[in-house]
C-alpha cells in the first residue's frame, strides 16, 4: 500500500469503460502461455469426469466476467445447450459480441481448443460452429447475480480477485458466482495469487490479494467437492502464481 493511502479502490471506482480488450489479449493470451494451457487441460479433464455418467438435457453454462478470454467458455462447449458470457465492461461486451456474431472467433483462441480437443467430448464437435450457435453475450454485473437465475455449469476467471481491492467485495463476488450455480453444478474459478493490481494499456485495475487459504475459505461453504491447484507460474510482475479451483456446488444457500 502507498504511504498515507487510506482508501481502497472499490469495484465501482475502476475504469471498466476504458478496458481495452485487444491490449488485454496481447498481454495475456495472443501468445499462449504454458500455465493457461495447463489450466485448460485440468478444466477439460475435470468437466469430462463430471459428466462421465452422462450429460443431462439442456445444460446451461455461464462464464462470469468473461472479458476478453474465450477459453473458459470453450471448455464448457461440449456440455451445453447454451453458454452465457456475462460481462460488465462495455468494450469487453463489444469484443465478445464480435467473437460470437462473426461466426468465426479470432484465431488467437485456436491454441486453447487444440488442448481441449485432446478429450473425446471436445474432439467430437466443431468449435466455431458450436460457439456461434450456443454462446450469447449479456452486459451484467456479477453483484446482481442473486440466485434467481441459476446455471448448471459455470466458470469465473480472474474476476472476484481482479475487480476490487476490497476484501468484502472479493467475498461477495465469490458468493454471487456460487449463487448463480444450481446444486451439483461443476465449476472452475481462477484467481491471481497475491496480485497487487494490473495495468491494461494506460489504465490501472485493482486486485485483492488472495492465497490458497483465502480462496478455499471463500469457496468451501458452497462446495461439495473442491480441489485447488496452486500453479507456480508467473505471467507478469506483481503476483505470485495462479490458483485454479475446480469443484461442484453443494445445496447451501449463499446470502448475496
- Does residue number 177 form part of the binding site for ligand SAM (CB under 6 A)? no
Q: For ligand SAM, which is the closer residue by CB, 172 or 214?
A: 172
Return the number of the residue (55 or 150) whose C-beta is nearest ligand SAM.
150
Cα Rg of the chain, angstroms: 17
Q: Which residues pair with 228 in a beta bridge?
A: 245
Residue 95 in contact with ligand SAM, rule: CB under 6 A = no
Q: Kindly indicate which of the ranges 11-19, 74-82, 119-127, 239-247 contains the residues binding ligand SAM, using the contact rule CB under 6 A.
A: 11-19
Q: Between residue 54 and residue 83, which ones bind ligand SAM under the rule CB under 6 A?
A: 65-67, 69
223 near ligand SAM, judged by CB under 6 A: no
Instruction: Show the cell assigned to 32.
Output: 499462449
Q: Cell numbers at residue 197, please?
A: 493490481
Which residues, 6+ apart, have CB-to-CB distance to 200 below 8 Å?
Answer: 19, 20, 23, 24, 27
Residue 206 CA to residue 10 CA, distance in Å, equals: 8
Q: How far is the CB of 19 from ligand SAM (least distance, A)?
A: 5
Determine if 51 is a binding residue for ligand SAM (CB under 6 A): no
In sequence order, what are the residues at sequence separation of 6 or more whose Cβ sits closer than 8 angstroms to the Cβ of residue 2? none
Closer to ligand SAM at the Cβ: 55 or 231? 231
Residues between 146 and 175 that touch ligand SAM (CB under 6 A): 157-159, 162-163
* 19 contributes a contact to ligand SAM by CB under 6 A: yes
With binding defined as CB under 6 A, does residue 92 bind ligand SAM? yes
Strands 186-192 and 242-249: antiparallel
* Secondary structure E strands in the chain: 60-64, 82-87, 135-139, 153-157, 186-192, 198-200, 203-205, 223-231, 242-249
CB closer to ligand SAM out of 224 and 236: 236
- Nearer of residues 80 and 166 to ligand SAM, judged by Cβ: 166
Neighbours of 183 (CB within 10 A): 12
115-182-165 Cα angle (round to 5): 75
Nearer to ligand SAM, 102 or 141 (CB): 141
Residues that bind ligand SAM (CB under 6 A): 11, 16, 19, 65-67, 69, 87-89, 92, 141-143, 157-159, 162-163
Amino acid at each position: 500500500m502507498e504511504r498515507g493511502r487510506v482508501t481502497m479502490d472499490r469495484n465501482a471506482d475502476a475504469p471498466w469503460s476504458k478496458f481495452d480488450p485487444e491490449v488485454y489479449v496481447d498481454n495475456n493470451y495472443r501468445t499462449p502461455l504454458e500455465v493457461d494451457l495447463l489450466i485448460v487441460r485440468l478444466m477439460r479433464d475435470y468437466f469430462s469426469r463430471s459428466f462421465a455418467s452422462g450429460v443431462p438435457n439442456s445444460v446451461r453454462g455461464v462464464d462470469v466476467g468473461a472479458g476478453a478470454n474465450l477459453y473458459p467458455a470453450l471448455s464448457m462447449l461440449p456440455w451445453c445447450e447454451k453458454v452465457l458470457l456475462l460481462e460488465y465492461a462495455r468494450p469487453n461486451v463489444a469484443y465478445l459480441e464480435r467473437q460470437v456474431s462473426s461466426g468465426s472467433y479470432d484465431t488467437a483462441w485456436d491454441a486453447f481448443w487444440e488442448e481441449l480437443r485432446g478429450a473425446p467430448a471436445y474432439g467430437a464437435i466443431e468449435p466455431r460452429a458450436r460457439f456461434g450457435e450456443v454462446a450469447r453475450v449479456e452486459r451484467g454485473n456479477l453483484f446482481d447475480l442473486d440466485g434467481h437465475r441459476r446455471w448448471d455449469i459455470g466458470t469465473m476467471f480472474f474476476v472476484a480477485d481482479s475487480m476490487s481491492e476490497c476484501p468484502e467485495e472479493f467475498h461477495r463476488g465469490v458468493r454471487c458466482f456460487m449463487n448463480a450455480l444450481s446444486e451439483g453444478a461443476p465449476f472452475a474459478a481462477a484467481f491471481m495469487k497475491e496480485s497487487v493490481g494490473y495495468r491494461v494499456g494506460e489504465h490501472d485495475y485493482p486486485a485483492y490479494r488472495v492465497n490458497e487459504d483465502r480462496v478455499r475459505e471463500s469457496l468451501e461453504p458452497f462446495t461439495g467437492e473442491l480441489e485447488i491447484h496452486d500453479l507456480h507460474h508467473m505471467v507478469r510482475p506483481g503476483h505470485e502464481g495462479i490458483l485454479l479451483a475446480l469443484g461442484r456446488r453443494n445445496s447451501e444457500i449463499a446470502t448475496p
